[in-house]
Homo-oligomer: A and B are copies of this chain.
Amino acid sequence: MKLTCSRDALLNGINIVSKAVSNRTTLPILECILLKTYDDGFKMTGNDLELGIKTALIDADIEQQGSVALEAKLFSDIIRRVDGETVNIFCGNNNAVVLSCGKSEFKIMGQPGDDFPEIPTVEQSFAYTLKQKDLRNMITETIFSIAIDESKPQLTGELIEIKGTSINIVAVDGYRISYKRATVSEAETPVKVIVPGKTLKEISKILSSDEEDVDLYITDKHILFDLQGNIIVSRLIEGDFIKYDQTFTDEFKTRVIIDRIDIISSLERASLVSRDARKVPVKIDIQKDKMIITSQTEMGTAYEEIKIDAVGDNLKIAFNPKYLIDALRAIEDEVISIQFNTALSPCIIKPEDGDIYKYLVLPLRL
């Protein structure tokens, strides 16, 4: 294999496929990036067997066809640090690779390209299309509430539901539910799949924040994300997701309209009287025009007062402040609505109008 390509294009590709490279594995080849030439360029692949990423064709002068797998960290460090516009890559006998750029030359050992595991083939018959930034926001604004505990594997992923022109994502960890919706191209048939949390975290780092589209292809076992020719394939998690819909009741006995930054600041301050920040329960006392947040530990007590607009009953309720803060931080709106029923039933955080996002948090017993 012998090729010459732009350093910027190479580095961009490395940054994309690195998201699927395994960090610690008993199979050293999974710590590699595969380079494989085609007529007018080459593609790179990363694959940790759960998540696989293959770049679109990267322009290059190909002098000699071939493939080789290079240790991802070393390859990426070298290409990031070298100083020059073009990079020459030559793979000789025994997978000995010479990388040269500017006044730098590296000789490193690769592994046979044929030993690198192929990423699964996914039939690309029907695409659901949405904005990359919408998918990115859906992930980053919900992913924090997937379950860490592997005992319910379904909850370590997020539910993606597509119906009509609507796509939504849901994460549930047993203490809270996070939900966010966006618009998708008209769906042929409704789908419901559970995508591993790790996949979504890595994809959210690659998704662009501008107007570009992403195409989703879904089969029984896999989901494929096509980002302008860069292909990401992940396995799906089997089984049924928790039925979350009924828990988002529209009924409430108390509704609070509140400044989002005000309540975040007060919850964070109330959490200070704990060595284990955010693990101290906070008590919330809702009155007509103010919310009083208090906490008490062996370290001391905190008292916070926030101006609000409330309708309905006065209420005293307690929460783990971390769960409220995680949800409130994910939202962008300046003012939000929080609905309550009793001191023992969950609260629901929503926009003042509509329900494009919904967060449910269980209270603690007072």
**Chain A interface (Cβ < 8 Å from any Cβ of B):** 71, 74, 77-78, 81-83, 103-109, 265-266, 268-269, 272-273, 299-306
Interface pair B300/A108, CB less than 8 Å apart: yes
Q: List residues of chain B with CB within 8 A of the CB of A77.
A: 272
A81–B269 CB distance below 8 A: yes
Copy count, this protein chain? 2
* A83 neighbours in B (Cβ, 8 Å): 265
Choose from B103, B104, B109, B302 the contact partner of A104 (Cβ within 8 Å). B302
Which of B299, B300, B305 touches A103 (beta carbons < 8 Å)? B305
How many Å from the CB of A268 to the closest CB on chain B? 6
Q: A132 CA to B81 CA in the complex, in Å?
A: 36
A197 CB to nearest B CB, Å = 29
CB distance from A271 to the nearest CB of B (A): 10
A302–B106 contact, CB under 8 A? yes
26 contacts between A and B (CB under 8 A): A71-B299, A78-B272, A81-B265, A81-B269, A82-B269, A103-B304, A103-B305, A103-B306, A104-B269, A104-B302, A104-B303, A105-B302, A105-B303, A106-B272, A106-B273, A106-B300, A106-B301, A106-B302, A106-B303, A107-B300, A107-B301, A108-B273, A108-B299, A108-B300, A109-B299, A109-B300
**Distance in angstroms between the alpha carbons of A104 and B104 in the assembled complex:** 59
